[in-house]
Amino acid sequence: MLDRGGSSGASPIRVMRHLRQRRHGGVASGLLVILGLFTLVACTGGDAEFQHTVEMEDNFFTPEVTRIDVGDGVRFRNRGVVPHNAIDVGGSWSTGEAAGGDAADLMDPDEEVVVTFDEPGVYTYYCSIHAPDDGSAGMAATLVVGDVDLEDAADDAAADQVTEWTGVTRRVPEDHPTIQNAVDAADPGDLVLIAPAPETPEHLAADGRYAYREQVDVTTPSLTIRGTDRNAVIIDGEHERPIGINTVGADGVAVENLTVRNTTGNGIYWTGVTGYRGSYLTAYNNEIYGIYAFDSTDGLFEHSYASGSKDAGFYIGQCDPCDGVITDVIAEHNGMGYSGTNASDVYLIGSVWRHNVSGIVPNTLDSQRLPPFGRVTIAGNLIHDNDNREAPALGLQWSAFGNGVLLTGGMDTLVTRNRILDHERSGVTVGPNLSRNFWMSGGNVVTDNVIEGSGYADLILAGPALTGNCFAGNDPDRTVPAGLESVAACGPDATAGAHAEVVDPDRGAFRLPSRQHLAPTLSFVGLVAESEFGLQPDNDHRDAPVPPDQEPMPGGADAPVVPAVGVFAGFDLDLDAIEVPPSPDPTRGGEDADAGDADGDGAEVATGPGAPSRDRAVLVAGVPFGIGGFSTLYGVLGWLAPFALFAAWVALALIDLARREDLARPAVVAWTAGVLVLPFVGAPAYLLAGGAGLPRWLRWTAVVGATVVLAALLGAAAVIGGLL
């Protein structure tokens, strides 16, 4: 994060830092440094002068090319949900140094830095955790200062990928002292084979284990980077380096059979690639993401484990189609087990998602390209206990707390044949997501899951929603709205999911308009308020449990070497063969109960019939009581109270019409029609302007006074919750 104090010793430009944080607001302080030809100004309050803005999204700059005049200011603004920075490839400036810290210091979401450029030239800049330091790929962009020719400073020397192993093995540490050294020396198609770190002082990690204390940047395609021992080959970020293995723009790179831990960003990361594979990987206590593919297609995560990340253990983002598969993985103790922002055509198959803040959360955000997400297939997973208040999580992740599967603002996703147990909020929620745009969900199909032990409801359709969401065969104990499988049923031919052709899904013949409910949406707003108000548990990812040894890759060092080319096409996926996985509790799950400890976490399996479902929230017209004060408050003020007020208006209007003797029958009928048919405005219009016989003070108090009071209460609640 940004260093809040100090000053940079050298900078070729004038910089003005403007810090704007959601919770803390501006802070008045400033400093001035003049060095050589240039001036550095850093301040943390007031409005900085700038003529241009570069948005730092997740994970790209926009615009990609910015042209400015000499002397102009550029505001770098982080509009993403994860930290970023901007660093000149030539090293002449950075947002971190501008803010008075180191070049690689990161800007939190909502932070801004203004840089004023006094020297003409072409600057290629990059984000140090989302691009290589030559700015050749990933999160990089160009700034043209003055009337100069734009030259593409990116190094486009990446070699072509190959489809087969070259037969060359580069051994670490025998042939190369560091992994980075071996990767740099490798040609496309080589195997980089890593033995456990030597037991030397320079490899001694803080916990007494021996690890590679480096970040590995990969720009050569078709490499296979393999550990000889999944649990003993460790890359340790030491809570100082952003990424463990950072593959940027290099297609076809496979990473296998090793552990990455303790990074300040991502454990194992691919960005801007076609073809990637992560097999038998362990990623733990990496601050933001564990195993992560961004802006990448044709990939596979398999037989892997991720824990202790504030955002997500597994993440696939910004791709359409992604052609990505995640199968046979375990994610626990993360903010989210899976997050997939704007990721379409993804399969999440046969994995375990447990003890995270939330389980599987495909989502749509404007901070990344290609919104909305769509066509995700979630099948055959065991999803349980994703309401872990002791897991680390960012604020945005807290808003998803307590849900097994949460589809926010996406389309045509299939959730089928999963076992979803014991969540404080819901088993499956389909709902909207408010980013810069308001994204609603539609065409999602939720069928044939086993869902038990949900505190709020097993199934929720949170409104407003688009058309086509349907639910069938889940046998829920409670839904919001009530009777969801009746009012939003699926027909027998309903289809959705990855690569499904959803033209007109069969959603059944009988559908009522009460198929969605606003209270759950307001309940999510309540969680945002909890985070803003400081009620979110502040858990340090460094304190997340260290996982036990995980299953090693069959064959180990001698396994066949296969570059990650044509991964998706080569994956044998038989969706029809997928069944609901057995219960982790042998006393639950009926005919599946004999499978016992299905998720392998042993000691955490509860026993006894019916245990350990969550306490049921008391619902009043869909508003939950008992699962968070802000959720209840916003549900009451945002849903119950307005609804009751509207109902009172209609009742008052009809009573008044019944009392009036000055109106002819046609007029009464016409007013009744207006009161009922005109959405929300018919009744108040009659009361205020229809000549109602009720006392004027009563009519104005009921319509205007009550509305003002309700709006004031809502505003006050939003202020208290930090939403305004």
Cβ closest to other proteins, residue 87 vs residue 466: 466
Cβ closest to other proteins, residue 177 vs residue 691: 691
Quick one: which segment of 179-187, 373-381, 639-647, 696-704 binds other proteins (CB under 8 A)?
639-647
Min dist. Cβ of residue 654 to other proteins (A): 5
Question: Do 437 and 366 form a contact (C-beta atoms < 8 A)?
Answer: yes
For other proteins, which residue of 240, 483, 607, 680 counts as binding (CB under 8 A)? 680
Min dist. Cβ of residue 456 to other proteins (A): 19
Min dist. Cβ of residue 636 to other proteins (A): 16
658 touching other proteins, by CB under 8 A: yes
Backbone phi and psi for residue 569, each to the nearest 5 degrees, phi listed first: -65, -30
For other proteins, which residue of 162, 243, 472, 518 counts as binding (CB under 8 A)? 518
Cα separation, 279 vs 507, in Å, equals: 38
Map residue 206 onto helix, strand or coil: coil
For other proteins, which residue of 47, 120, 152, 646 counts as binding (CB under 8 A)? 646
Cβ closest to other proteins, residue 517 vs residue 588: 517
397 touching other proteins, by CB under 8 A: no
Quick one: which segment of 200-208, 376-384, 512-520, 604-612 binds other proteins (CB under 8 A)?
512-520
698 touching other proteins, by CB under 8 A: no
Quick one: which segment of 13-21, 181-189, 373-381, 671-679 binds other proteins (CB under 8 A)?
671-679
For other proteins, which residue of 170, 226, 241, 507 counts as binding (CB under 8 A)? 507
Min dist. Cβ of residue 400 to other proteins (A): 23
Question: Do 370 and 320 form a contact (C-beta atoms < 8 A)?
Answer: yes
Binding mask 443-482 for other proteins (x = CB under 8 A): --------------------xxxxxx--------------
673 touching other proteins, by CB under 8 A: yes
510 touching other proteins, by CB under 8 A: no
Binding mask 594-623 for other proteins (x = CB under 8 A): ------------------------------
Using alpha carbons, list the distances in angstroms from residue 532 to 21, 111, 674.
11, 16, 42
Min dist. Cβ of residue 653 to other proteins (A): 8
643 touching other proteins, by CB under 8 A: yes
Min dist. Cβ of residue 616 to other proteins (A): 23
655 touching other proteins, by CB under 8 A: yes
Q: What is the largest CA-CA distance in the chain?
A: 101
Cβ closest to other proteins, residue 211 vs residue 518: 518
Prior bond of 257 cis (ω within 30°):
no
22 touching other proteins, by CB under 8 A: no
Cβ closest to other proteins, residue 330 vs residue 430: 430
Cα separation, 704 vs 721, in Å, equals: 25
Quick one: which segment of 377-385, 523-531, 667-675, 704-712 binds other proteins (CB under 8 A)?
667-675
Using alpha carbons, list the distances in angstroms from residue 372 to 340, 344, 365, 579.
11, 8, 7, 29
Near other proteins in 487-506, by CB under 8 A: none
> Got the DSSP string for 426-448?
EEEEEE-EESSSEE--BS-EEES
513 touching other proteins, by CB under 8 A: yes
Cβ closest to other proteins, residue 321 vs residue 674: 674
Cβ-Cβ contacts under 8 Å for 72 (sequence gap 6 or more): 50, 51, 52, 116, 117, 145
Cβ closest to other proteins, residue 132 vs residue 443: 443
Cβ closest to other proteins, residue 669 vs residue 716: 669
For other proteins, which residue of 665, 695, 696, 697 counts as binding (CB under 8 A)? 665
> Got the DSSP string for 230-260?
TTT-EEE-TTTSSEEEEEES-TTEEEEEEEE
Cβ closest to other proteins, residue 544 vs residue 657: 657
Scanning 362-401, the segments in alpha helix (DSSP H) are 395-398
Question: Do 80 and 55 form a contact (C-beta atoms < 8 A)?
Answer: no
654 touching other proteins, by CB under 8 A: yes
Cα separation, 483 vs 331, in Å, equals: 32
Q: Which amino acid is at 69?
A: D
Cα separation, 146 vs 649, in Å, equals: 63
516 touching other proteins, by CB under 8 A: yes
Question: Do 687 and 724 form a contact (C-beta atoms < 8 A)?
Answer: no
> Closest Cα to residue 302, out of 254, 269, 236?
254
Backbone phi and psi for residue 261, each to the nearest 5 degrees, phi listed first: -145, 160
For other proteins, which residue of 440, 446, 490, 527 counts as binding (CB under 8 A)? 440
Cα separation, 119 vs 91, in Å, equals: 14
Question: Based on the number of CB atoms within 10 Å of its own CB, is 205 exposed (0-12), middle (13-18) or buried (19 or more)?
Answer: middle
For other proteins, which residue of 1, 647, 711, 724 counts as binding (CB under 8 A)? 647
Q: Count residues binding other proteins (CB under 8 A).
A: 36
Cβ-Cβ contacts under 8 Å for 459 (sequence gap 6 or more): 426, 427, 428, 429, 446, 451, 471, 474, 476, 479, 480, 484, 485
Cβ closest to other proteins, residue 492 vs residue 513: 513
Cα separation, 643 vs 167, in Å, equals: 70
Using alpha carbons, list the distances in angstroms from residue 548 to 232, 305, 520, 601.
12, 10, 37, 10
511 touching other proteins, by CB under 8 A: yes
- Helices vs. strands in the chain: H and E counts, helices first: 11, 45
Quick one: which segment of 275-283, 347-355, 669-677, 711-719 binds other proteins (CB under 8 A)?
669-677
Cβ closest to other proteins, residue 437 vs residue 607: 437
514 touching other proteins, by CB under 8 A: yes
For other proteins, which residue of 594, 679, 695, 697 counts as binding (CB under 8 A)? 679
CA geometry: angle 216, 220, 226, nearest 5 deg: 55
Min dist. Cβ of residue 693 to other proteins (A): 13
Cβ-Cβ contacts under 8 Å for 469 (sequence gap 6 or more): 430, 441, 442, 443, 444, 445, 446, 461, 488, 515, 516
Cβ closest to other proteins, residue 535 vs residue 698: 698
> Which positions lie near other proteins, rule CB under 8 A?
440, 463-468, 507, 511, 513-518, 643, 646-648, 650-655, 657-658, 665, 668-669, 672-673, 676-677, 679-680
